[in-house]
């Protein structure tokens, strides 16, 4: 196991390196002078040159990269160019909670919806239920989150006035009931696409497991079908499901921008979109890097869980 | 091959008719699957709408850009099929012109990323160093979620149509490159490629004339999916104000405008949303059908993954 962990940890290094280079380059290869852009139209040449020197923009790109990477390692993501004196880290941490809560909530909905339906589709393969569920999942995959979100708002908020159309409540200060009232529509819109995908994957992996020899063995021993499904097959499907949950969590974090804008939730996505308008590249860089690193971390954890659960993977 | 009975011309004729028969069978198989057929119809319909947008709108006497103040927030009627928006512009005309934008973006992204991705994937198989480099690069790019990478690229490049295409192409290249590489690796090992190598065919000749045609099917399938996801991404970007700028009538941009008027004019949101969803669904169904037809093994593989 230790060898497996070490090997897997080593593969993280090049990925993190490339992610950081890509994120760094996105901002640094932009057309236009960042210093001139920060100072606006009436800046003099001297002003721009001074800012250049202060930001170290005259150094070779590789020097700039290492300086930036060194700062990031020390937890310094730089300073916002739009809001004076605000560090990017502070800005991200004040917008972090809504996005994380939204992502977790949407994943919970996804799991509760997709797992039972996926298993049902596998159990009743070829039946009318199965076809209905495949059509449903195809529709779900093709439904952009903002489209579903708008539909839900039109129906449940505008037409029937059951739930608020926009806004955010902090569960720790405003209480959980308020949180659920405000966040249910956003979470459903964000999680639905993924639940369609998770349903497909659950069904496929369940079918694969169900056709294996040990299930046949269990059947021939006379194990009740229910026990086969829940005890024997489900456990082996779980690995696939965990992967899909990990992917879903990341895509929820990334996709949150759209849903946050639609529902007016002050999360990281909202911060990122605001930063586009203000040309606040440092913030965009910081958020992109954070989510990418979180993604690498989650994938690493999934692989380690895999290794823990399945000796075949560990020894390969 | 020497058959003894038939001469070369006759053999060729039989071979050609066999190919034709095969194609007919494939086409019939595709059309028989109702879902793929529905996908094909939607795709064709969207392409036609995009192509003939000016003809359709001028026949109906509507204009996607003309704002008429007294006609603001008109509900759908015979004169304005889909109603009018907050500036009094005809939504039907805007939705049809929006199809132009979506199809242009989808098509360009699909095509360009297929060409670049295939080239990268093919050449990756020629050396271990290149292969490692490319795969690590793909891993790195893949670690940044697609929509996030696209937003970041748009933020620095600036919002316009060309940049939308550039960013979304960058985002979808790794997927194509991976598929091209893995398929090329399989085909590289086949006997006929070995034979070509023994005959002294050059590296580029083998790659382009012998391997490339044989990995076309999975690439084509991936292209339709890239097309579909480019439509969603473009709409998302425009919805966030980081895509196609106003007053161009992109579906995402229209939804963004509609956001503020949900209580006042639901039709402003409904129609662009409906068209986005239907066209994405169409391309996904079409892609699924194409995959079952061209690359049945991949279908199984993708599901089992």
Q: Does residue A306 belong to any structural domain of this protein? A: no
Do A143 and A255 lie in a common domain?
yes
Question: Exposed e or buried b for every residue in A27-41, given b needs 16+ CB within 10 A?
Answer: bbebeeebbeebbee
Residue A197, C-beta contacts closer than 8 angstroms, at least 6 positions apart: A137, A140, A141, A244, A248
**In angstroms, how far is the first alpha carbon of chain B from the final one?**
41
Do A7 and A97 lie in a common domain?
no
Do A11 and A99 lie in a common domain?
no
Q: Does residue B31 belong to any structural domain of this protein? A: no
β-pair partners for B90 = B84
What percent of chain A is helix, strand and coil (3-state, nearest 5)? 80, 0, 20
Q: For residues A258-279, give the mean pLDDT.
A: 88
Q: Choose, out of B102, B133, B141, B144, the residue to mutate when testing the contact with A (most A CBs < 10 Å).
A: B144
Q: For residues A120-134, give the mean pLDDT.
A: 83
Containing domain of residue A22, as a range?
2-73
Query: Cβ–Cβ of B139/A257 closer than 8 Å?
Result: no
Q: Which of B93, B181, B95, B106 is nearest to B137 (CA)?
A: B181
For residue A262, what is the nearest residue in chain B, using CA coordinates?
Answer: B259
From residue B12, give the alpha-carbon distance in Å to each of B1, B4, B9, B19, B21. Answer: 12, 14, 5, 10, 14
The gap from C-alpha B302 to its chain's centroid, in whole angstroms, comes to 19
Show pLDDT as tens, one digit a residue, over chain B (305 residues): 455 566 778 888 888 888 887 777 777 777 667 788 889 999 999 999 999 988 888 888 788 888 777 877 777 887 778 888 878 888 899 999 999 999 999 999 999 999 999 999 999 988 889 898 888 888 888 888 888 899 989 988 888 999 999 999 999 999 999 999 999 998 888 888 889 889 988 888 888 988 988 888 889 989 998 999 999 999 999 998 888 988 889 999 999 888 888 778 888 888 998 899 999 999 988 988 888 887 665 543 333 22
Do A24 and A134 lie in a common domain?
no
Do A62 and A114 lie in a common domain?
no
Q: Does residue B291 belong to any structural domain of this protein? A: no
Containing domain of residue B91, as a range?
43-286
Question: B59: domain CATH number?
Answer: 1.10.3720.10
Dump pLDDT digits (tens) for A217-242.
888 888 888 888 878 888 778 888 88
Q: Which residue would you say has higher pLDDT here, B247 or A27?
A: B247
Our count of domains for chain A comes to 2
Give the CA angle between residues B40, B43, B47 to the nearest 5°. Answer: 140
Q: Does residue B55 belong to any structural domain of this protein? A: yes
Q: Which of A39, A42, A125 is nearest to A82 (CA)?
A: A39
Do A106 and A32 lie in a common domain?
no
pTM, entire model: 0.85
Residues 161-200 of A with CB under 8 A from B: 165, 200
Half-sphere exposure of A154 (CA within 13 A, CB side): 20
Q: For residues A190-200, give the mean pLDDT.
A: 87
Do A31 and A64 lie in a common domain?
yes
Our count of domains for chain B comes to 1
Q: Which residue would you say has higher pLDDT here, A15 or B2?
A: A15
Query: Cβ–Cβ of B241/A273 closer than 8 Å?
Result: yes
Q: Does residue A228 belong to any structural domain of this protein? A: yes
Is the separation of the CB atoms in A299 and A251 below 8 Å? Answer: no
- Exposed / middle / buried, residue B82 (Cβ in 10 Å: 0-12, 13-18, 19+): buried
Q: Does residue B12 belong to any structural domain of this protein? A: no
Q: How far apart are CA B121 and CA B116, in angstroms?
A: 9
Domain boundary among A21, A48, A73: A73
Residues of A within 8 A of B273 (CB-CB) are: 146-147, 150-151
Q: Does residue A292 belong to any structural domain of this protein? A: no
Residues of B within 8 A of A286 (CB-CB) are: none
Q: Does residue A40 belong to any structural domain of this protein? A: yes
Q: Does residue B221 belong to any structural domain of this protein? A: yes
Do A134 and A16 lie in a common domain?
no
Q: Does residue B304 belong to any structural domain of this protein? A: no
Do A109 and A64 lie in a common domain?
no
- pLDDT at position B301, please? 36
Which one-letter DSSP state was computed for residue B74? P
Is residue A30 less than 8 Å (CB to CB) from chain B? Answer: yes
Question: A106: domain CATH number?
Answer: 1.10.3720.10
Q: How far apart are CA A305 and CA A310, in angstroms?
A: 8
Say whether the ipTM exceeds 0.95: no
**The two structure tokens encoding residue A160:** 């029937």
Q: Which residue would you say has higher pLDDT here, A80 or A300?
A: A300
Å from B200 to nearest chain A CA?
Answer: 37
Q: Does residue B302 belong to any structural domain of this protein? A: no
B255 vs A146, A257, A284: nearest CB:
A146
Q: Does residue B299 belong to any structural domain of this protein? A: no
Q: Which residue would you say has higher pLDDT here, A183 or B69?
A: A183
Do A186 and A161 lie in a common domain?
yes
User: Which value, to the nearest 10 degrees, does the dihedral of the CA atoms of residues A218, A219, A225, A229 take?
Assistant: 50
Do A115 and A184 lie in a common domain?
yes
Q: Which of B116, B107, B59, B65 is nearest to B88 (CA)?
A: B65
Query: Cβ–Cβ of B266/A204 closer than 8 Å?
Result: no
- pLDDT at position A108, please? 93
Query: Cβ–Cβ of B156/A281 closer than 8 Å?
Result: yes
Dump pLDDT digits (tens) for B60-76.
878 888 877 787 777 78
Query: Cβ–Cβ of A15/B140 closer than 8 Å?
Result: yes
Do A68 and A93 lie in a common domain?
no
């Amino acid at each position: 196991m230790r060898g497996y962990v070490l090997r897997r940890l080593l593969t993280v290094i090049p990925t993190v390196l490339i992610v950081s280079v890509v994120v760094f380059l996105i901002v640094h290869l932009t057309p236009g002078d960042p210093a001139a852009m920060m100072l606006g139209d009436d800046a003099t040449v001297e002003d721009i040159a001074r800012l250049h020197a202060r930001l170290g923009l005259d150094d070779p790109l590789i020097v700039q990269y290492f300086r930036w990477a060194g700062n990031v390692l020390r937890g310094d993501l730089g300073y916002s160019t739009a809001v004076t004196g605000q560090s990017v880290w502070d800005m991200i941490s004040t917008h972090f909670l809504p996005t994380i809560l939204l992502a977790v909530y949407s994943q919970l909905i996804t799991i509760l919806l997709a797992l039972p339906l996926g298993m049902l589709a596998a159990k009743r393969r070829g039946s009318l239920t199965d076809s209905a569920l495949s059509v449903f999942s195809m529709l779900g995959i093709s439904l952009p989150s903002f489209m579903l979100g708008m539909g839900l708002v039109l129906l449940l908020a505008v037409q029937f006035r059951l739930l608020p159309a926009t806004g955010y409540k902090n569960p720790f200060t405003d209480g959980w009931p308020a949180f659920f009232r405000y966040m249910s529509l956003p979470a459903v819109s964000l999680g639905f696409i993924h639940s369609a995908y998770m349903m497909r994957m659950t069904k496929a992996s369940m079918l694969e497991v169900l056709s294996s020899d040990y299930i046949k063995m269990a059947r021939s021993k006379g194990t009740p079908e229910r026990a086969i499904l829940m005890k024997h097959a489900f456990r082996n499907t779980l690995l696939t499901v965990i992967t899909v949950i990990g992917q879903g969590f990341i895509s929820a974090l990334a996709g949150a921008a759209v849903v946050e804008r639609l529902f007016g939730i002050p999360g990281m996505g909202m911060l990122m979109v605001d930063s586009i308008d203000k040309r606040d590249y440092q913030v965009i860089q910081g958020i992109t890097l954070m989510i990418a690193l979180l993604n690498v971390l989650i994938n690493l954890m999934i692989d380690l869980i895999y290794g823990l659960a399945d000796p075949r993977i560990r020894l390969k | 091959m020497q058959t003894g009975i038939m001469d070369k011309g006759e053999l060729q004729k039989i071979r050609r008719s066999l190919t034709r028969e095969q194609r007919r069978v494939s086409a019939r198989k595709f059309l028989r699957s109702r879902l793929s057929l529905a996908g094909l119809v939607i795709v064709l319909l969207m392409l036609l709408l995009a192509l003939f947008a000016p003809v359709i709108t001028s026949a109906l006497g509507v204009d996607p850009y003309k704002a008429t103040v007294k006609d603001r927030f008109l509900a759908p009627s015979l004169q304005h099929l889909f109603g009018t928006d907050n500036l009094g512009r005809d939504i039907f005309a805007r939705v049809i012109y929006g199809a132009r934008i979506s199809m242009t973006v989808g098509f360009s992204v699909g095509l360009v990323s297929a060409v670049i991705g295939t080239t990268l994937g093919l050449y990756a198989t020629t050396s271990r160093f290149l292969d490692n480099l490319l795969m690590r690069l793909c891993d790195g790019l893949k670690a940044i979620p697609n929509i996030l990478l696209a937003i970041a690229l748009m933020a620095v490049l600036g919002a316009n149509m060309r940049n939308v295409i550039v960013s979304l192409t960058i985002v979808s290249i790794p997927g194509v490159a991976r598929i091209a590489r893995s398929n090329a690796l399989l085909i590289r090992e086949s006997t006929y490629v070995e034979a070509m190598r023994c005959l002294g065919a050059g590296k580029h000749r083998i790659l382009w004339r012998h391997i490339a045609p044989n990995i076309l099917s999975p690439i084509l399938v991936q292209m339709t999916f890239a097309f579909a996801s480019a439509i969603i991404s473009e709409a998302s970007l425009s919805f966030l104000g980081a895509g196609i700028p106003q007053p161009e009538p992109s579906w995402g941009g229209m939804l963004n405008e509609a956001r503020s008027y949900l209580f006042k004019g639901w039709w402003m949101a409904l129609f662009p949303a409906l068209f986005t969803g239907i066209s994405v669904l169409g391309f996904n169904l079409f892609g699924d059908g194409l995959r079952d037809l061209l690359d049945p093994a991949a279908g199984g593989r993708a599901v089992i993954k």
